[in-house]
Amino acid sequence: MTESITTQKYKAFSVIRIWTLAANTVTQLLRMRILAFLTVFSLIAIAAGFSFPTMSPEQQLKLLKDVSFGSLQIFSIVIAIAATSILIPKDLEDRTLYTILSKPVPRYEYLIGKLLGVLLLIGGGLLIMDLILSAVIWIKQSLIITGQIAALKQEQSATPENVAAIKMIIGKYGLTWGVHAGVFAVFLKASVIAALSLLISSFASSTLFTIVVAFAFTIIGHGQQLLRDWFLHDTLSSGFGKIISGLVVIICPDLKLFDVVDKVITGEIISAVTLASMGGMATLYIVGYTATAYLFFVDKEL
Amino acid sequence: MTPDISPTTAVSVENLTKIFKIGMTKKALVAVRDLSFKVNQGEVYGLIGPNGCGKSTTMKIMLGLVKATQGRTAIFGRNSEEVASRNNVGFLPENPYFYKHLSARETLHFYGKLCNMKGSELHDRAEAMLTLTGLTHAADRRVGGYSKGMLQRIGLAQALINEPRLLILDEPTAGVDPVGSRRIRDLILELKQRGATIVVTSHLLEQIQEVCDHVGIMSNGQMVKEGKLEDLISVGNQTEIILEDASPELLEQIRGLINKNDQQTKLVSLGKPRTTLEKLFLESTTQTGDQEPS
């Protein structure tokens, strides 16, 4: 200990600090075995991929995507809410928050770092699941096409036109870029829900409260469009009802914006414009919720 | 009392009041009441007082973790509410816990990066802190399996990782065995020699007495006594003489002189001074707490 005491420079915004917090959050959540969902998802996808062989080929592929995307959504929403809800209360309870914020770490960096960590975890998990799902769809699709061509050959009608038609029809319901677009939409929805959960946990007094309220808002968020229509156009409702629905419309995200899974299942093309629009809306929600979370968190007594 | 913020002032607390609103009824609880003191650079300042007297709240306000209801605190002249004021501060909270999934080395790297340290500077500093706190042997073990004393030491290491000019220690020896406690005390003195300013709270008043230059005694959120340690603890009208290998005859002569010389002078005590239980413990044990138990 012969070094001299030095004065360090302070940076008001540091990407390194945010990345340090985010990386630590990812490790922290991984050690909680939060990605055990991945195994469950893989089993569901494989089971869905090789069940119901008596259905038509298109139905089999649609069902595979339907079940897999259902599990993807559940995985991402549960992780988004549960992981985000426990982070701040746990740091506060363990007093690690004291040691972090007593370093030159602004509170907004702490919030951004934690949220980024959750988003990285969800994004990473979804990426792996996307790869698993794509592999299962591709194998299933290849098996179906091979079976169909074999049947044509038996019927002695395996002309190049018929083979091409089968490949085109099955391909439409099989592995397309739309599958990845669908996973991206699921990620955007989960990111918005994570940011909303962060906002709730910034003022909530308990983890349970955060989880319950975040789940409630997630459910309401899927019907936010109905509420909005009622709030804006229905002239018969009471003033009090209008105020409540108006507040919900303002606070609650419109999660239907990110529901493109039905289109993906039926093989419809998801345009780049749609994806960009969803990305923009998600960014707006995330920035809005995080900024509001900061307003609550900056004055929080620790 | 309103302390000035001179260039030599490391910490300044001015007319600080903190009122917490408790429960649904928002009942007011005054944790700190019109508290003022200052800590000069290079000084070790001991803040002592019973549980709930407002010591920890004062420290939290100094660190910007809690906002003052009234008054102001500043660190090296910067308002504590500014994040930049914590640039040269290290803090060890009472009974700290760290991320259980990290090892001691990873923990130090984590906190170092939060202080914008990187590369060889961070690596070298982390290794130096592990050596300093005697945790080299457990550097790769997860903190989740650490004993209370080891947690306290890794807490101290993280507080020192950015080589702070001001160190704030809340009960640094709580739950630490006498050997570890002695080590922390020696470390405080070593840091003081290097020019660091230290604010420390402890229930072990003997330790405070050994390391502090200034002491503030708080009660019910207020400062009831404050000043230089020597001034506070010396008994003005008494004189202590400690002799070694004094014969009974010499002692008798001294006693006789006292009785003869002045009617007002009274002999308060004459006997063998006692060692402390802590000193006896340290002399009797050889285990340092650094090694793995064999």
For residue range B181-213, list pLDDT tens digits in order. 888 888 888 888 888 999 998 877 777 888 888
- Which of B165, B167, B146, B145 minimizes the C-alpha distance to B156? B167
What's the average model confidence in pLDDT over A51-58? 75
- Please tell me the distance from the alpha carbon of residue B114 to that of residue B272, in angstroms, as a whole number: 54
Q: Report the pLDDT value the prediction gives residue B274, as an integer from 0 to 100.
A: 67
pLDDT tens by residue, A81-127 = 999 998 888 888 888 999 999 999 999 999 999 999 999 999 998 99
- Please tell me the distance from the alpha carbon of residue A69 to that of residue A134, in angstroms, as a whole number: 12
Q: CB–CB of A302 and B116 under 8 A?
A: no
Q: Residue A103 is nearest to which of B100, B111, B132, comparing CB atoms?
A: B111
**Is the separation of the CB atoms in B26 and B42 below 8 Å?**
no
Helical residues (DSSP H) of chain A, grouped into ranges: 15-31, 36-49, 57-93, 96-101, 107-154, 160-173, 177-203, 207-222, 224-233, 239-251, 261-265, 272-297
Least confidently predicted of A11-15, A135-139, A189-193, B129-133: A11-15
- Which of A119, A130, A124 minimizes the C-alpha distance to A192? A119
**Is the separation of the CB atoms in A114 and A297 below 8 Å?**
no
Q: CB–CB of A103 and B113 under 8 A?
A: no
pLDDT tens by residue, B261-271 = 766 777 777 77
User: What domains can be seen in chain B, in order of their start residue?
Assistant: 9-236 (3.40.50.300)
Mutate to test the interface with B, among A99, A111, A112, A300 (most CBs of B within 10 A): A99
For A44, A56, A131, A179, A180, the CA distances from A63, given in Å and listed in that order, are 12, 11, 18, 13, 17
- Please tell me the distance from the alpha carbon of residue B277 to that of residue B204, in angstroms, as a whole number: 13
Token pair, residue B261, equals: 């010389």
> Considering only CB atoms, which chain B residues are within 8 Å of A102?
63-65, 86, 89-91, 93, 168
pLDDT tens by residue, B32-68 = 999 999 999 999 999 988 888 899 999 999 999 999 9
Count of CB atoms within 10 A of residue B233's CB? 10
User: CB contact, 8 Å: B99 with chain A?
Assistant: yes
pTM over 0.80: yes
- Please tell me the distance from the alpha carbon of residue B96 to that of residue A116, in angstroms, as a whole number: 26
Q: CB–CB of A96 and B97 under 8 A?
A: yes
> Considering only CB atoms, which chain A residues are within 8 Å of B95?
95
- Please tell me the distance from the alpha carbon of residue B186 to that of residue B207, in angstroms, as a whole number: 10
Q: Give me the residues paired with residue B199 across strands.
A: B45, B168
Least confidently predicted of A220-229, A234-243, B16-25: A234-243
- Please tell me the distance from the alpha carbon of residue A46 to that of residue B196, in angstroms, as a whole number: 62
**B1 has a pLDDT exceeding 50:** no
Search chain A and give the residue with CA nearest B41.
Answer: A5
Token pair, residue B284, equals: 């009797």
- Please tell me the distance from the alpha carbon of residue A99 to that of residue A105, in angstroms, as a whole number: 10
For A270, B37, B126, B172, the CA distances from B93, given in Å and listed in that order, are 53, 21, 20, 8
**Is the separation of the CB atoms in A152 and A163 below 8 Å?**
yes
- Which of B93, B103, B59 minimizes the C-alpha distance to B175? B93
Least confidently predicted of A134-143, A217-226, B241-250, B268-277: B268-277
pLDDT confidence tier of residue A44, bands split at 50, 70 and 90: confident
Search chain A and give the residue with CA nearest B23.
Answer: A205
> Considering only CB atoms, which chain A residues are within 8 Å of B118?
16
Search chain A and give the residue with CA nearest B111.
Answer: A100
Q: Report the pLDDT value the prediction gives residue B288, as an integer from 0 to 100.
A: 54
- Which of A103, A227, A55, A63 minimizes the C-alpha distance to B88? A103
What is the ipTM for the molecules in this complex? 0.83
- Please tell me the distance from the alpha carbon of residue A270 to that of residue A262, in angstroms, as a whole number: 11
